[in-house]
Structure 1
Amino acid sequence: MQEIVNIVSYYFQYHGYPSATAYIPQQEITDSIQINIMLGKLGEYQVKNYSKHLKESAISSKLKESLQGKILRTKALEDAIYKINEMSGIKASGSLVAGSEYETTDVIITIEDSKKANAMLFFDNYGSKGSGVYRAGVSGALNNLLGYGDSLNYFAQLSDEMQKSYGFTYNFFLGNLKVSPRVNKSNYELGEEYESLGAYGSSLDLGVDLSYPLFINTTNSLYLTGGYVYRKLEDIYGSFGIDFNKESNAFYLGTEGTIGLIPNNILSYNTQLTYGDIKPKSVFLENSPVMGEFWKFNAALNNTYYFNNKISHILNISYQKTIGDYQLDSSETATLGGAYGVRACPNGFGEADSMILTTIGLRFNIFSPNFYITPFYEFAHGWNEDYLDNDINMAGREGKNDIFVDAVGLELLYIKPNGFYIKLDLAKAAYKYEADGKRRDRLYTSMGFYF
């Protein structure tokens, strides 16, 4: 009899009722028996805060008191723990104990400190030819600064052509709403064959990003996102005494999340709808068709299927599409090449208003758990909408408003946890244009050291 009761209890616990208990009430046994199920209700949250920095109010602001007295479900428990874990500088775990009242179960939430600060020193050749291919920089975070799970993220970067970039993002929470004001600044001066132009410029971004989790559990999550950014761009050609300065305001709404309903498969995604307005600050741009309002839609999908713990399948898709017949400014267009595009092409290659980029690969870590080998094939198609002078600039393809590029290659990645990483991307174009005249093979290199 007890074995049957245990099986029934396990069935309900496995299907999302962690405190469910089956029992046999007093009865007269005949040819059948009655088994009662007590699903269990949420009693109290017992918070054990062992953090030296996190304030109690920061924890209580994330807990739903309205769930108390209701049937306890696994996903509701996971949701509470994961939302607390979104705070920086701490780690949270949960366990169950019998409550003080009949049919109730209390949730014990244990909080401990994690790293107060982290940093990474990195080097790569991901830059562009004019502003500097080789780059070095530092990025990191200072966690739990004010005791509310907040953080200050920072980065600084310098190229071999003295292009400088730096920025700061401060993250804090209003309940479960994450608010992230940010500032990014960069400047450049074109070198090599562009040096005679005397070209230099700068960009300034002032923005705020918002993220609100609708739900988070071990299999799925869904966030609503939004934000605003003010951008000031200066492009000056000193040799000619002219400039192409402009500024823009943009708002966006979107979603992001994960889906893990398929066994051995993890899918993450995000979508973003952007409305913006670009205003000229130079007489040379006053009649430009790229000035004014614009709309665009962006989406990304990243899927990993694990055949076993040694081999997995990778599928990554990025998409951008203008909405309407808007012609986008270069600050809003997509680029097909680079370390984050088709890797047989240089950074900045193939500017287009709309594009789709797909990478397919098989990832192996058969030699070492820290060493990953990924042969891949990737392709991108970019296009401009039907407007005047909509050519995509590429030798031998004058008059064409679209372009297709692809590559086959090998990605090598070694990661020593809490130590360093080294990443090599070797790629060669599979399809070549006869009149292109450019090399379409490339080696991208990146390394970083963690502190």
Structure 2
Amino acid sequence: MALAALGVAQAACISAAEPGTVPPDVQRAAQMTEHKPDAGMLQNEWRDRQRLTASQLANGNGSVQLPEGQKPSLNMDTATKVRVKAFKITGQDVVEDQKLQDLLADKKGKDLTFADLQQGADTLTDYFRNHGYLIAKTYLPAQDVTDGVITYDVVIGRVDDVTIQNHTGQKSGNGQHHTERISDKALYRQTKFLKHGDYVTRTNLERAVWLLSDLAEADAKVTLSPGSEPGTVHILLDVEPYQSKHGLISGDNYGSRSMGYNEYGIDYDFRNLAHEGDHLATSISTSGRHMFDWGANYTIPVIQDGLKMTVGYNVLSYDLGDEYSYLDGVGRSRVASLGFDYAIDRGRRHNLYTGIRYEHSQIKDEYRSFGATYGDKTGNAMVFSLYGDDQDTAGTTNWRVDYKWGHITNKSLYSSNIYDQWLADSPRTTGTYEKLRGYIERHQDINERLYLLLTAQGQYAFSNLDSSEHFSLGGPYGVKAYPTSEASGDTGYLTRAELRWLLPLKKHDQQLQLATYLEHGGIWINKDSSINPGAKNHRNLQGIGVGLIWQRYQDWFVRMDYAWPLGAEEPISDRSHTNGHFWIRTGFYF
């Protein structure tokens, strides 16, 4: 995606200058471009705006009926009553006996009929099933009840065997869409944790169904049937092809004055290239002659269930326009990455993931009018992630935490004399750095047509950061009342409260939403501001706005927003929209 940013010119070295000297015209250019975008900032904005797209997943459907008469049952006349002195619970080793006894405590010392005793069995069955043992069943075996001790036998249910029916690679939907076949080996890799003799639990069944459905163009469901031995079940996993669009053509005005406001992009996913449930996500976007970026990210399941590897390469280049055109400023960033993500918990209502990623970046910025290279940076970093989502009866919560540790060098800073002479108040961002970043969003249902989105995100820097690692407040993904990348710095936070109303439509395949929101954020430009104590180091942005979202699922979408600033804080990076901003983005799937 095309990005534009508020940038602070980082330390510089002038290739054509003698060590210890800085040409006056270059000094003047640097001063005039204090808020000029650079490749590092653009790279950072591109990374921030990548959407995490949730896979379209199928809900598993598990059911089982135990064979009739697999164990003798208690033969007792319905009118007969038994004085109960105690209960004995057999056949299970997963719950403390006292917890189960407590469930039956109100029946002790009473005269109970067969129906009363059966009610106790149902109570135990419900307890096990509510705690994830989907096919657990408690029954009254044949026994002598004259001593007042009632025995309940619990059959929790164990795995007999697992079968996967692989229907991928067949036509789906209306028969006009053909998917690539996923290999049987790739499917069984996602379910190998289902072992013979293990207890059948909701957690394990959901994990199997949803991991299979996470594979590219796969949709899974599960059916349980009696196994070859009493108390066991046969697990049948049916994997069908899943039909969805592969591409997206989009356009928006999310850019900037110096890079161009209008942006255009194409995204396309190539799926099952290796028949492993893998996919290659590619993207190209541009704002015209001033900005161009492209990327390719390949994800493939590896080694064991729930583990995926991603390899990526992304390139962004720009040249400055508008009032900066006389500088002939150009820049480019290249980022290569290798990462692994593992699904610790995978289910319908709760998901927890962890990830680790290595990034190598090369960033270069030049003023060609002066033969000057003011940034030639190389970065290496490790990112450790923990993220997930939870669904309850009132809504869903999504969250993510990233810790990044890295090191960045700038070849342009070959002379400390130039560094001190030209940028005496520089934040000195080269070297080792650390930062912590977090995000949380709550989707709270109010009624069938009204819901609330509450979002908070932020970044904490342990030292002064390069522009490529900054946190920004303004723009369509931040405080919409301000320009893209307005107020960028080392440490910051952003909050949003958005109320959405689903408007009634005659066309049921379309959705129209009206949104109103309040946004607020704060930024600390430098973690350590002691180098330049007189400069302003903190900014707050806030605004209100309204939006309209109109879409047809997997066909097209349009979002329009207009937002107004609150308070006296004026934009710095772009003063052409001081009274508010209008944003629009549209896209077509194919």
* TM-score bracket for this pair, using the shorter chain length: over 0.9
Tell me: CA distance 1:121–1:434, structure 2 relative to 1, closer, same or farther (3 Å).
closer
Per the TM alignment, residue 166 of structure 1 is displaced from its structure 2 partner at its CA by 0.5
Q: CA shift at 1:14, angstroms? A: 3.7
Q: Which runs of 5+ in 2 are unaligned?
A: 1-113, 170-180, 420-425
Structure-2 change in CA distance of 1:318 and 1:343 (3 Å): same
The answer to whether residue 453 in structure 2 is matched with residue 311 in structure 1 is no
Aligned equivalents of 2:410 and 2:438: distance in 1?
A: 28
1:84-129 deviation per Cα after TM superposition (whole angstroms, max 9, x unaligned): 2221121111121111122111211111112486000000011121
State the shift of 1:16 in Å. Answer: 1.6
Structure 2 contact 290–320 (Cα < 8 Å) conserved? no
Partner of 1:424: 560
The CA distance in 2 between the partners of 1:25 and 1:434, in whole Å, is: 79
Q: In structure 2, how many angstroms separate the alpha carbons of the residues matched to 1:339 and 1:390?
A: 31
Total equivalences in the alignment: 442
Quote the Cα distance in structure 2 between the aligned partners of 1:144 and 1:418: 20
The residue identity in structure 2 corresponding to 1:340 is: Y
Give yes or no for the alignment of 1:23 onto 2:151: no
Q: Which of 479, 499, 505 is matched with 1:362 structurally?
A: 499
Which of 291, 311, 321 is residue 163 of structure 1 equivalent to? 291
SS of the counterpart of 2:504?
A: strand
Counterpart-to-counterpart distance in 2, 1:65 and 1:15: 20
Any idea what SS the aligned residue of 2:469 has? coil
Structure 2 Cα separation of the partners of residues 339 and 433 of structure 1: 18
Select which of 500, 512, 529 maps to 1:387. 529
Deviates more, 1:286-295 or 1:421-430: 286-295
The separation in 2 between residues aligned to 1:12 and 1:253, in whole angstroms, is 37
Equivalent residue letter for 2:272: N
Structure with a larger share of its residues in helix = 2
1:11 to partner: Cα distance: 4.8
Aligned to 2:514: 373
The amino acid of 1:414's aligned partner reads W
What is aligned with 2:368?
238
Alignment check: 8 A CA contact 2:436 2:460 kept = yes
Contact 1:20 1:39 in 2 (8 A): yes
Measured at CA, do residues 440 and 284 of structure 1 come closer, stay the same or move farther in structure 2, by a change above 3 Å?
Answer: farther
TM (normalized to structure 1)?
A: 0.92
Equivalences for residues 221-300 of structure 1 within 5 A: 221-243=351-373, 244-260=375-391, 262-283=392-413, 287=419, 289-300=428-439
1:412 counterpart = 2:529: no
Please list, as runs of the form range in 1=range in 2, the aligned pairs for 1:41-56 lying within 5 A after superposition.
41-52=158-169, 53-56=181-184
Deviations 1:288-342 (A, max 9, x none): 611111111111101111122211111111110102xx21111111111011111
Letter of the structure 1 residue corresponding to residue 312 of structure 2: R
The aligned counterpart of 2:47 is none
- TM-score if structure 2 supplies the norm length? 0.71
Amino acid at match of 1:348: S
CA contact (8 A) 2:557 2:586 kept: yes
| 8 Å CA contact 1:161, 1:190 repeated in 2 | no
Q: CA deviation at 1:34?
A: 4.3
* Amino acid in structure 2 at the alignment position of 1:126: Y
Distance of aligned partners of 1:435 and 1:74 in 2 relative to their CA distance in 1, 3 Å threshold: closer
Aligned to 1:446: 585
Q: CA RMSD in A?
A: 2.2
Q: Percent identity?
A: 25
Residues 437 and 460 of structure 2 are in contact (CA less than 8 Å); yes or no, is this contact kept in structure 1? yes
Equivalent-residue separation in structure 1 for 2:542 and 2:481 (angstroms)? 8
Structure 1 gaps of 5+ residues are: 392-397
Relative distance call for 1:367 and 1:117 in structure 2 (3 A) is closer
| Cross-structure match for 1:394 | none
> Cα 1:284–1:130, aligned 2, differ >3 Å: closer, same or farther?
farther
SS in 2 for 1:83: helix
Per-residue CA deviations over 1:48-94 (Å, capped at 9, x if unaligned) read: 11112111110111223464312211111111211222211211111
Secondary structure of the residue aligned to 1:68 is: coil
